[in-house]
Amino acid sequence: MNKCMPLFFSFVLFFTGVISVYCDPAEHDNADTGQNELTPRTFFMPIASYAFISLGNIQAHNAVGGLALYRFNPNERDKLFSISLIYTPHILIDTAPDFPALYHTASLSITQKISRHTISGTFIAMTDKPVYGGLRTFMGMAGYSYDLINGTHFSMDLGARLAVMDIGVTLDNGTPWLLWPIPSVRLAWNYEWITFGLMPGAWATIAPKFPVSLNFKTGSQTYDVSLWYRYFRNGNPSAEIMGIGIGVKKDLSTVIRSDGWKYDIYYDALYGSVRLLRLFEISGGWIFDGKEGYKEINWETLFESVGYSDASMYSGNTGKGFFVSISVRANL
């Protein structure tokens, strides 16, 4: 397969969404009929990004193209229904031996909110042979959550998800065990000078409604700390014109082979970002510590960090490098 074709397909999805935004009849119908501002509205949102990582001889290209449809209450931006389709080709150059150069990730997500109840479903196909490569190349997940507390300053959701995936666990007769229940909890606090939340991961923003803000974000294997200056239209924080940020982060780029082995590029970097109208963002930075490694995904390694302490796993220190990323997200 020509390596340019996946890149072309991902951006076709994005530009289709751009056309959909400006041709959405719902926008014109509301204007003609004078519907109340509280009437739920529907719009399409195109999604696109490109990221390039260079560590020594290793190069990684990730291009994202997608479409999302939202139905929401304009006064609260409360999403009542959403569906998204996203495709990402991953191209690797001069990486670990026996790993293909081209990988694919395609995802379909659907969420329906009814009062305090939220029902969701997700299907993700990945690896160099998505779906047709076997059970280890895709997964499905269905979930339910309930808004237990939805106050002005504090909210809490409780729920559970049922995942269908093959992570290398088998029964006595050799049949893979595919059903995995996963509990979920989400906590969020919202105040004038700080907003923060827990699960998944943790995040916080100090001075979220002021021009200068400090952001923290952590995951199981990543972190991001950044300082931002933002220019608002008429002093309104929801009408951001431009933002400039600097920060430090640990990030991770992962691909999975169809036999269940994964290859990681993980790095620490200093970076800068420029954002316009909350629509276009470009980031770039210096990677001061980058590594690569690969290992098999199974029950023992599923929850391990990216340290690759096992001596049987290949781990190369690729030293220093740089990264560049560009993203477009029509957040109307």
Per-residue pLDDT reduced to its tens digit, 114-130:
889 999 999 999 889 98
Rounded CA-CA distance 302/81 in Å is: 32
Rounded to 5 degrees, what angle do the CA atoms 332, 49, 294 make? 140
What's the whole-number average pLDDT of the chain?
82
Q: Is the pLDDT of residue 211 over 70?
A: yes
Place of tokens 């047709």: 132
Residues in the chain: 332
Helix (H, G, I), strand (E, B) or coil at 167: coil
From residue 78, give the alpha-carbon distance in Å to each of 99, 108, 114, 186.
43, 21, 11, 16
Segment 22-78, tens digit of pLDDT: 444 444 444 444 445 567 788 888 889 999 999 888 899 999 999 999 887 766 556
What average pLDDT does this structure show over 257-279? 90
Identify the band that residue 261 occupies on the pLDDT scale cut at 50, 70 and 90. Answer: confident
CA 14 to chain centre: 16
CA angle 117, 216, 113 (to 5 degrees): 10
Q: Is the pTM higher than 0.85?
A: no
Measured CA to CA, the distance from residue 301 to residue 70 in angstroms comes to: 37
d(CA 122, CA 141): 5
The widest CA-to-CA distance across the chain, in whole angstroms, is: 68
